[in-house]
Amino acid sequence: MIEEILPQLYKIEIPLPNNPLKALNSYLIKGQDRFLIIDTGMDREECKQEMFTALKKLGVDLKRTDFFITHVHADHLGLISALATDSSTVYFNEQEPSIVAAERFEKRWLGISETHRTHGFPEAEAEKAMQNHPGRKYGLKNHVDFHILKEDDIVEIADYSFRCIETPGHSPGHMCLYEPTKKILVSGDHILSKITPNITVWPEMDNSLKHYLASLEKIYPLDVNLVLPGHRNIWNNHRKRIAELQEHHKNRLNEILSVLEEGGKTTWEIAPYISWDINYSSWELFPPAQKMFAFGETLAHLIYLEGNKTIQSTTKEQRIVFSLD
């Protein structure tokens, strides 16, 4: 589906089959001599077909097209190797190229698996989750030479001049774009209108929830009339949504503290008692990949609480246990 948002700025809805996110919002800006695509979809046939159909309708020449990727997740980055040409510039943040580097890929996943095991994730369940994880199945397959952008760098296309804003939390190098004249915020997955971005643990980030909450505070003062998110609908009140997201994480932290009042538990033992917005009646029915996302978010909140010295952790029988005292 194609929608013209503003002159020369279009939203292309890329389907994400069998995924709770449903679709990715890819944005296209038409310049006089160049095109810019913001985020791409996964490296899977359904995404590819929709993207190429839309680009044909919009008269896009990929040989004159550059790309800006908000962050490393497969639904934003995966399709880039099918779209970028030798004459394309692919803009990306400084922290995340190493995450998709082929020489580190399997070693990194093994490290993640070990982290999950030490926090109680059953090995058989973890193996299923890893095999079905969209980051492994539909992520970047080929090497890409990224053009690195940093805080306050400028991306210009047509009548738009975007300033880069580093917003780590949802991922280690997540980056938003802000157009101060037109008061547009391209938010990626940093803020979404109706769903809460997944905040999980990363080997590259010590306290992802702490970074995320700081990044929310960072963009709060911006003068914004239009938010262009990575998923679902476009809206215009980013401050109201930031307040809602802050409240959401406060409530989640309190849920975890309530669970720990019963005694020390591993992350795996805590996760089923958290309120998850997913259409399954019990934790046992969650698909393995969704259990992994919920587990990672629980652990991120536990690390935040431990960092604040609200809880503590100990190791018992090779498993990390969190407790109030």
Considering the four listed CATH numbers 3.40.50.11540, 3.30.70.20, 3.90.1150.10, 3.60.15.10, the one that applies to the domain covering 2-97+137-241 is 3.60.15.10
273 burial via Cβ count (<10 Å: 0-12, 13-18, 19+)? middle
> 141: pLDDT confidence band, cut at 50, 70 and 90?
confident
Mean pLDDT value of segment 220-224: 98
> 135: pLDDT confidence band, cut at 50, 70 and 90?
confident
CA torsion 312-314-320-323 (nearest 10°) is: -40
**Two tokens at 170?**
């949802």
| Calpha distance 315→289 (Å, rounded) | 26
> 147: pLDDT confidence band, cut at 50, 70 and 90?
very high
Q: What is the DSSP string of 123-188?
A: HHHHHHHHHT-HHHHSS--S---EEEE-TT-EEEETTEEEEEEE--SSSTT-EEEEETTTTEEEEE
User: What is the pLDDT at residue 115?
Assistant: 92
User: Domain residues of the chain, as ranges?
Assistant: 2-97+137-241, 104-134+246-323
Mean pLDDT value of segment 210-224: 98
Mean pLDDT value of segment 229-257: 97
Q: What percent of the chain has pLDDT over 70?
A: 100
User: What is the pLDDT at residue 110?
Assistant: 84
Mean pLDDT value of segment 300-315: 97
pTM above threshold 0.85 = yes
pLDDT exceeds 90 at position 105: no
pLDDT exceeds 80 at position 33: yes
Mean pLDDT value of segment 121-134: 82
pLDDT exceeds 90 at position 4: yes
- Comparing C-alpha atoms, which of 247, 249, 270 is closest to residue 260? 270
| Calpha distance 126→319 (Å, rounded) | 15
User: What is the pLDDT at residue 288?
Assistant: 83
